[in-house]
Structure 1
Amino acid sequence: MTTLDTPKTLHIRCGLDIQRNLQEAGFIGDFLEFSDPFCQGPVLDLPGLEWLTARSQFISQHYDMPLADVEQRQQLAYKRLSTAHQYEHVVLWFEHDNYDQLILAYVLTRLAAANLAERLQLICISDFPGIAHFSGLGQLSPEQLIYLYKQQRFEVSPAQYQDAKRTWHAFQQGEVAELNAIIKQGTPAIEPMAKALKRQLQELPWTDCGAGLTLQLVLQVLQDKGARTAGQLFHELNLVLEPLPHLGDLMFWALLKHQASEGLIQIQPSGPDWSQHLVSLPSMSQLQITNSWWVGPFDISRQDCPRWDPVSGQVVATG
């Protein structure tokens, strides 16, 4: 019997959404969930322990998870990523949004030093035949995942390493000129990456209104349709308004809570689940963020935080 992979294969994915279907499809290798959500929280150039601490504290605080559990999970994921070179075959499963692409940029940057050569392969797609509104690999059946593995899996090229390293370095360092250059020039070897980076940077305050794109979309729905449950808002943004859906439910809820803490929206508890809470516009609102909220290396509460210019389609420095 011919197998798809071997026990010495490692499948890396930024979530658990395809793990069961991979198993049902007949894949027998190990699975690594590496899901540090770089599209939210501080992404700073810090030594290893400080990096893990900063990331874990953000996730624990904003996603309502016990810090000890987050730290344990993060440490395990980063440790397992550092041992990927011990496998005979490593397969990366990613899609086109900024949550996936920022993690992919980091993973490829880390694995570049492992010298995996032809042992490292990438599946990275923006759509799938027959799916009109493709949003992620989690939509795919076991049979469709087999199709990707056989037809859309390619050895990671030097150019792909280069695009990933350039993108990750510019994002982590907050190099405005280089970020704008990547958006303008694109990332030809990993076509979705520059587009995802652009969408990520649109979360910076905009020059014309002072709000990032997700906040603008939330306010638009509430202004047009009135109060909505958090679950309704989540689905309307992801299915209708969001140009590049990338936020999971916990990430979206964390952002709503931050917006409420700034007085930009109101949240009225209703039912045991976050998705049932009622979200509405406050009686008075000013688009002025005072508490820290990070877009990569940028704390948007700071007066000198760069902004997104919708006219030029680039980041502009303010300091």
Structure 2
Amino acid sequence: MNWLHVTNGDGASDLIKHSTVPGDVLPWRDVMHHGPFPADKSLEALAEIRGGYLAGEILDRREVIVGFTLRDAHFQGAGRYDELVLWFEHDLLDQLQLVQILDLISKLGLRDETTVSLICIGEYPGIEPFRGLGQLTLEQAAGLMDQRRTVSESQIALARSAWAAFCGDDPLALQNFLLKADFSPLPYLKPCLERQLQEFPWISDGLTRSERQFLQLVADGTEDPARLFMRNMDFETHLFMGDWQSFVILERLCMAEFPLLTCQPTPFRYPPKDEIELEDFRAQRLLLSDHGRAVLAGQKRAGIKRDDWMGGVHLSGPEAAWQWDPDGQRLIRAGI
């Protein structure tokens, strides 16, 4: 048998490679919960868009785009394998990758060329809390091959609908999809997409859920940026945010027109954006500003000027066009 295994990133990819599982491994490197994903773009166009966004001002743009291009070419040739095995977890990052890949499998007609199977877990006996595949031993990872199941038509259909809603420029399409779809074919998908909606600014104060969590942790006495990242995970039932994006958010809270955090020493610096030793990075202390304290107390709005993408939705300015209503558990258009 000739196998191709596709999984989230390098951690899970290395686990599979070093286990007794035979075959080639393709990591799907993309932090899809932030940055642009406009609808109806080819893989070539998405490589340019995602590569340019993720490279930012830190990485070599062309090198990142080439990485996407090579990944996509490998995946498009999956029909030459006897079986394509998808390895994913229950968190937001993995579920977004999974629906994109299932959508691509349908568009490329790969199920007509090879067997496509899925391993997707949200727990493992004896591991508590279960965060992801990277916690498994090599033997445990290899044992998951017995749990794989052939991808069904209902899983493909649900993934295609989810992907279309995520990439659309009207977030109400995603909200309506969550209300009406049958999620039994992909049971981890619904809570992940619901969490994604909570990253829209909230009508109560203009903060996203993650921004508020970081501010609350600082208010409670956590000042070390590395510890802030670790403790923020305790708020999440479905992890999705890595250290890099967490530090980007902390920088935004420090550098906003009306800063919500202050850093001692200033400015806040973090890898890989800045060359900074780990000891110096952890020695930084993040504190609430007067404005941040007032926002947490419900006395002021955050006023963060945004230039953010949530799938196919672009949020701009200090008051985003779409905001999350936590009481109604729904998105609303600002000013309505």
Alignment check: 8 A CA contact 2:254 2:260 kept: yes
Let me know the Cα RMSD of the aligned residues.
2.2
Alignment check: 8 A CA contact 1:40 1:294 kept: yes
Instruction: Give the whole-Å Cα distance in 2 for the aligned partners of 1:297 and 1:258.
Output: 22
- State yes or no: 1:127 paired with 2:133: no
What is the aligned counterpart of 1:10 among 4, 20, 27?
4
Structure 2: 5+ residue stretches without partners: 270-275, 293-300
Alignment check: 8 A CA contact 1:53 1:71 kept: yes
> Does the C-alpha gap of structure 1 residues 163 and 214 become closer, same or farther in structure 2, counting only changes over 3 Å?
same
* Displacement of 1:254: 2.5
Instruction: Give the whole-Å Cα distance in 1 for the aligned partners of 2:81 and 2:244.
Output: 32
Instruction: Give the whole-Å Cα distance in 2 for the aligned partners of 1:177 and 1:292.
Output: 20
Instruction: Give the whole-Å Cα distance in 2 for the aligned partners of 1:69 and 1:272.
Output: 25
- State yes or no: 1:204 paired with 2:200: yes
**Counterparts in 2 of 1:131-280, with a 5 A limit?**
131-150=127-146, 152-185=147-180, 186-225=182-221, 228-238=223-233, 240-262=234-256, 263-267=259-263, 268=266, 269=268, 271-273=276-278, 276=282, 277-280=284-287
> Does the C-alpha gap of structure 1 residues 99 and 78 become closer, same or farther in structure 2, counting only changes over 3 Å?
same
Deviations 1:237-259 (A, max 9, x none): 11x22232211122222232233
What is the aligned counterpart of 1:41 among 35, 42, 67?
35
What is the aligned counterpart of 1:295 among 310, 315, 328?
310
Alignment check: 8 A CA contact 1:21 1:142 kept: yes
TM-score (norm 1): 0.89
Instruction: Give the whole-Å Cα distance in 1 for the aligned partners of 2:250 and 2:51.
Output: 20
* Displacement of 1:44: 1.0
- State yes or no: 1:28 paired with 2:22: yes
State the partner residue of 1:307: 323
Deviations 1:179-210 (A, max 9, x none): 22332345210001111111011100112121
Identity over the aligned pairs, expressed in percent?
26
Instruction: Give the whole-Å Cα distance in 2 for the aligned partners of 1:174 and 1:57.
Output: 20
* Displacement of 1:132: 1.6
Deviations 1:67-121 (A, max 9, x none): 1221121211122222222211100010111111111110100011324157100
The code of the aligned residue for 2:171 comes to V
Between the two proteins, the alignment pairs up a number of residues equal to 309
Report the 3-state secondary structure (helix = DSSP H, G, I; strand = E; otherwise coil) of the residue aligned with 2:84.
strand
* Displacement of 1:297: 2.1
Instruction: Give the whole-Å Cα distance in 1 for the aligned partners of 2:333 and 2:227.
Output: 35
> Does the C-alpha gap of structure 1 residues 23 and 278 become closer, same or farther in structure 2, counting only changes over 3 Å?
same
* Displacement of 1:304: 5.3
TM-score (norm 2): 0.85
Report the 3-state secondary structure (helix = DSSP H, G, I; strand = E; otherwise coil) of the residue aligned with 2:316.
coil
Instruction: Give the whole-Å Cα distance in 1 for the aligned partners of 2:252 and 2:45.
Output: 24
**Counterparts in 2 of 1:47-58, with a 5 A limit?**
47-48=41-42, 49-58=44-53
Instruction: Give the whole-Å Cα distance in 2 for the aligned partners of 1:289 and 1:148.
Output: 44
Instruction: Give the whole-Å Cα distance in 2 for the aligned partners of 1:223 and 1:215.
Output: 12
Instruction: Give the whole-Å Cα distance in 2 for the aligned partners of 1:289 and 1:301.
Output: 10
Report the 3-state secondary structure (helix = DSSP H, G, I; strand = E; otherwise coil) of the residue aligned with 1:292.
strand
> Does the C-alpha gap of structure 1 residues 145 and 56 become closer, same or farther in structure 2, counting only changes over 3 Å?
same
State the partner residue of 1:3: none
Instruction: Give the whole-Å Cα distance in 2 for the aligned partners of 1:258 and 1:297.
Output: 22
- State yes or no: 1:61 paired with 2:27: no
Alignment check: 8 A CA contact 2:6 2:87 kept: yes
> Does the C-alpha gap of structure 1 residues 234 and 317 become closer, same or farther in structure 2, counting only changes over 3 Å?
same
Report the 3-state secondary structure (helix = DSSP H, G, I; strand = E; otherwise coil) of the residue aligned with 1:301.
strand
> Does the C-alpha gap of structure 1 residues 294 and 258 become closer, same or farther in structure 2, counting only changes over 3 Å?
farther
The code of the aligned residue for 1:39 comes to H
* Displacement of 1:46: 5.4
> Does the C-alpha gap of structure 1 residues 313 and 291 become closer, same or farther in structure 2, counting only changes over 3 Å?
closer
* Displacement of 1:275: 5.2
- State yes or no: 1:97 paired with 2:91: yes
Instruction: Give the whole-Å Cα distance in 2 for the aligned partners of 1:104 and 1:254.
Output: 25
